[in-house]
Amino acid sequence: MQKSTYLLLAGISMFLTQFLGAQGTLPVYSDYLSDNIFMVHPSAAGIGNSAKVRLTHRQQWNGVSDSPALQTISMHSSIGNNAALGGLIFNDKNGFHSQVGFQGAYAYHLNFGNYEALNQLSFGLAASYVINSLDQRTFADFDPIVAQVIRSEAYFNGDLSFAYHKLDGFVYLTAKNILLNTRSAEDSEFKSLNLRRYLLNVGYFFGRGQNLQFEPSAMFQHVENTGENLLDINAKVYQTFGNTARAWFALSYRRSLEKNDVKNFNLITPIAGIEFDRYLVSYTYSSEFGGLVSGNGGFHQITLGVNLFSNRRSNRGYNSRYNTFLYKTNN
């Protein structure tokens, strides 16, 4: 019975590693709806009137031993009038498999706007270093030829990103995992794996200067190797309270555009958050339905954030989506 359990866990872990690994160095979730768009698009580095620090913890299938979990910490900030830098560290653990990644990003913004109107073209490039690990310390119970060690290997990857903001509208286009060579922790060999994923993100912010604001958006994903296509349809509502507080609620629906039971993926995600002065906290819950459902425990995520060095720049204009409070000009 114990051997059967180990075999089942190992099989599930390997399957999920392949599934999640197809997403590249970092899975694409709904962080872009919880004021953490830099997690998805490197060209968002430095956009806004402050440096942004974000911490996340994501847990899948509560109550299941060794269920997938992801922690991230990121920061990005403008440097000078046009450049920006960002950094990200993540720890993604899934059963016997885990990966720890480090990402650095550079963005450059061409600003054509003025004090009241944002008009900006942005370019971003990110480089990642990822360490993949396979914990084999319990494998010997059913396979004596497998060493009871933790095997680790590393690889590099990169993202290329573009963005355009005009008044309260925005468009992001990002190619993720543009490098093809990765090293497997199972056999230590370099393999040519096409992990490229293309993201197109569009939206518009309604209600400038109003207490109640609304932001519809959509994101399309295309996975080059498998031909898989995913579509997110999102709606987000903001309610401001004076000049120092804002609450918001978002609802996202993600579905695959394929029509078979395996790829007929549907995900509904409500997100609630509150911002007070420079601080932010949000909660995300995702639930799958239709086709092949990987679990019935849902996906839970907490995001904590703090904005530092707030400063409104005259050549960048004002955009409510990134600059929470119009009249807050200092820290």
Per-residue pLDDT, 74: 95
Instruction: Using the CB atoms, write b or e for 265-293: b if 16+ within 10 Å.
Output: bebebebebebeebebebebebebeebee
CB environment 77-113: b (16+ within 10 A), e (fewer): bbeeebebbbbbebebbbbbbbbbbebebbbebebeb
Q: Which amino acid is at 166?
A: K
pLDDT at 272: 96
pTM metric for this prediction: 0.80
State the pLDDT at residue 81.
Answer: 83
Backbone dihedral region of 166: left (phi > 0), alpha (psi from -120 to 50 degrees) or beta?
beta
One pLDDT digit (tens) per residue for the chain, 331 residues: 444 434 434 443 443 333 334 335 788 888 899 889 999 999 999 988 889 999 999 987 766 666 788 999 999 999 988 899 999 999 988 777 888 899 999 999 998 876 566 788 999 999 999 888 776 666 655 555 656 666 667 888 899 999 999 888 999 999 999 986 555 545 555 555 778 899 999 999 898 878 899 999 999 999 988 888 999 999 999 998 887 889 999 999 999 887 655 557 788 999 999 998 889 999 999 988 765 555 556 789 999 999 988 765 443 344 445 544 333 333 2
CA dist 186 and 169 (Å) reads: 45
Query: Which residue pairs, CB below 8 angstroms and at least 24 apart, start in 64-70?
Result: 64/295, 64/297, 66/9, 66/13, 66/94, 66/95, 66/96, 67/295, 67/297, 68/16, 68/20, 68/92, 68/93, 68/94, 68/95, 69/93, 69/94, 70/27
Minimal CA–CA distance to 315: which of 110, 165, 43? 110
User: Are residues 93 and 297 in contact, defined by beta-carbon separation less than 8 angstroms?
Assistant: no
Contact 281, 272 (CB under 8 A): no
CA distances from 202 to 172, 223, 233, 256, 322 (A): 6, 18, 10, 18, 15
Alpha-carbon distance of 324 to 163, in angstroms, equals 20
Q: φ, ψ for residue 31 (rounded to 5)?
A: -60, -30
| Domains of the chain listed by start with CATH number | 1-308 (2.40.160.40)
> CA geometry: angle at 130 spanning 124 and 131, to 5°?
170
Residue 137 tokens read as 């310390």
Residue-level pLDDT at 49: 81
What is the three-class DSSP state of 130? strand
What is the pLDDT at residue 301? 93
